[in-house]
Chain A
Amino acid sequence: MNEQKTSRWSESFAGRLLSGLRFPGAGLVKGLAVTARNFVGSYFEKDRLLTELYPEQRPRLPENSRSFPFLIYDGNDPEAGMRCVSCKICEKECPPQCIYIVQDRDAAGKALKRPRVFNIDISVCMSCQICVEVCPFESIRMDQVFEASSYDRFGSLVLTKRDLLKSNEYYHGIHPTEAAETDARIEADRKKKEAAAAAKAAKAAETAKAAAEKKEAPAA
């Protein structure tokens, strides 16, 4: 082999001592010395012990960690505060097609801006986060629950609207940075809309006033 680098370990005292060995089986002894060093070292250096004792030690998930989607609502009432307007973009874009939405209608049959049925089959979902990216209403986000296994394949792995709706506070709890950015964006949007509405109202008032003045002028 060309371009072989000398290893740092071989520059250490034990490494030099061992790499000087020239007899059949010296390579084995060297390997065993490394193993022994790790074994003994694990009693003194805590960072050599990497195994998490999972059910007792809960893993600390990083903020970006994601598992399955959920829906956000504002305020206290899940139905009233639901951000989803049933635009069905996520249903269309979902790569494995695991989202099923039926738009709500009032008694007269007029379409309402909210879903009547919103199901996500998490046995099909592949946690790709594309629904989150395409949602224009900041309504669907990724959860961090990972212990979702169950004995009942069809009952509990198809999440309905009631299972999916979670509060904005919950979202702040699992993804604080992202949630703060989302809230800022929504606030900015709202202010922009308010400003636009105010400008529109002012303009409408002005035109109305001008029209009224015009009307008054010939009379005078």
Chain B
Amino acid sequence: MSVMPPLDSSRTLDVSLGPQHPSTHGVFRMNVTLDGETVVRLQPVFGYLHRNHEKIAETHSYLAAMPYTDRLDYICPITNNWAYALAVEKLAGIEVPERAEYIRVIVGEFTRLQNHAALLGFLAGDLGGWGTALLWAFRLREKILDLFESLTGARMMANYMRFGGCRCDLPVGWLEAARAVVRDAHGQLDELEALLTGNEIILARLQGVGALTGERAINGGFSGPVLRASGVDYDIRKVDRYGIYDRFRFRVPRGTAGDCFDRMMMRLLEARESVGILEQALAGIPEGPVVNPKAKQRGLRPPAGEAYGRIEGPKGELGFYLISDGTDRPYRYRVRPPSLINLTLLEELCIGTKLADVMVILGSIDIVLGEVDR
């Protein structure tokens, strides 16, 4: 972080952006200091959506914290469930049956697909192209949410993962419906790509804006598509190979410039890779139990110790750090939220850009305030 020269307050103007900003990212406020239209200082203000998630989880049983994790990143609740279940499984040493692992990969990749599709729409909305791109993205997202509803009972607040598997088996006909959605997804992503990637206005607004080097991204603790857009080859699905990700063939796309355009393209390419993983997983899903019958859900008392479970969430590394003291509730429960940590360099990305670029940079980072504030 460069040392800022003292600001000449006769030349600058303080503008408070938010908290009710219509850019759909949530209740987030930025105190921006402007010199003309150029940003010279930016202070993020958050906490408007703080719900005391971590302390609430420490006063509840392990199972009762599961529905609260849905509310972290409410765009993709099932991956939150997965990260928490993974952490508890590590803590208590619970095995997961093979069919459950396949279902987890399928719903996880569907989550990534709909998150990335929604992000492309929101980003176009940040650019002022409100409507078309967002609704086309939501056309894909709604179909996936319908699948989630028929599987888990709720479109968003799924509460689906359990320790050692999933809550319920796939309903009759679900796999066929899922295959149909995956078949359609190709065409819908093609349309989004044709609409967005060649558009000269989008190119002018995104290319070269908010560029970040790979080294700086690593030092800032970035993860997920934002890190890979800066050219760093780091995907926890490849590094940790949690679950059964070593069985699927997929590529990890990387950017070169690390600017907003690379971040947008990263979402599009990752969505296509997700479709590839979905095709493989839907073809190979075996029969069997969906939850480990030995795993105790209610009144689970893991042995004293600590565990950190992490997954490659759609927004980055989502981790849960748990300490157990042998009782039925966690002694310490900590979330590593990708949205918050990817926000830390927001000021550095924005200084020197114009006011209108601030929304684009914020949109390209892809945050959800439910996860930032917790």
Contacts and interface: CB of A to CB of B under 8 A. Distances in A.
Contact of B203 (A3, A27, A30): A27
A15 B154 CA distance: 38
Contact of B64 (A2, A66, A130): A130
A9 B199 contact: no
A195 to B, nearest CB: 24
Contact of B187 (A8, A61, A129): A8
A38 B67 contact: no
Interface in B124-160: 132, 136, 139, 142, 146, 149-154, 157, 159
B64 A9 contact: no
B288 interface: no
Contacts of B154: 65-66, 127
A1 interface: yes
Contacts of B112: none
A31 B195 CA distance: 4
Q: Is chain B's binding surface mostly helix, strand, loop or mixed? A: helix
Given A95-B64, A126-B157, A129-B159, A5 B269 contact: yes
A7 B149 CA distance: 30
Give the interface size class of chain B: 35 or more
Interface string A126-169: 11111001100000001000000000000000000000000000
Contacts of B150: 62-65
A203 B167 CA distance: 41
A220 interface: no
Interface in B53-90: 60-61, 63-68, 70
A34 interface: yes
Interface in B151-190: 151-154, 157, 159, 167-168, 171-172, 186-187, 189-190
Contacts of B314: none
A7 B153 contact: no
A217 interface: no
Name the residue among A9, A10, A25, A38 with the largest chain B CB count within 10 angstroms: A9
A8 B275 CA distance: 14
Contacts of B269: 1, 3-5
Nearest to A136: B298
B251 interface: yes
Contact of A27 (B153, B199, B254): B199
Contacts of B198: 26-27, 30-31
B256 interface: yes
Given A1-B256, A3-B269, A7-B190, A129 B200 contact: no
Given A28-B199, A30-B198, A93-B61, A128 B142 contact: no
B194 interface: yes
A24 interface: yes
A31 B199 contact: yes
A188 B132 CA distance: 55
Given A130-B67, A133-B297, A134-B298, A65 B194 contact: no
A9 B191 contact: yes
Nearest to B231: A2
Interface string B260-282: 00100100010010000000000
Contact of A24 (B132, B200, B254): B200
B253 interface: yes
Nearest to A48: B139
Contacts of B171: 62-64, 177
B347 to A, nearest CB: 27
A61 B178 CA distance: 17
A62 B174 CA distance: 11
A1 B263 CA distance: 10
Contacts of B186: 8
Interface in A9-23: 9-10, 15
A36 B265 CA distance: 24
Contacts of A64: 149-153, 168, 171
A80 B203 CA distance: 70
A35 B64 contact: no
Contacts of B66: 128, 130
Contact of A95 (B60, B167, B168, B272): B60
Contacts of A10: 190, 194
Interface string A38-52: 100000000000100
Given A15-B194, A25-B200, A35-B195, A1 B265 contact: yes
13 contacts: A1-B262, A1-B265, A5-B272, A7-B189, A9-B193, A27-B203, A31-B198, A34-B194, A62-B149, A64-B171, A93-B61, A133-B167, A177-B171
Interface of B: 60-61, 63-68, 70, 132, 136, 139, 142, 146, 149-154, 157, 159, 167-168, 171-172, 186-187, 189-191, 193-201, 203, 251, 253-256, 262, 265, 269, 272, 297-298
Given A35-B132, A128-B70, A134-B298, 7 more contacts: A7-B194, A9-B190, A10-B190, A35-B195, A65-B153, A95-B68, A130-B64
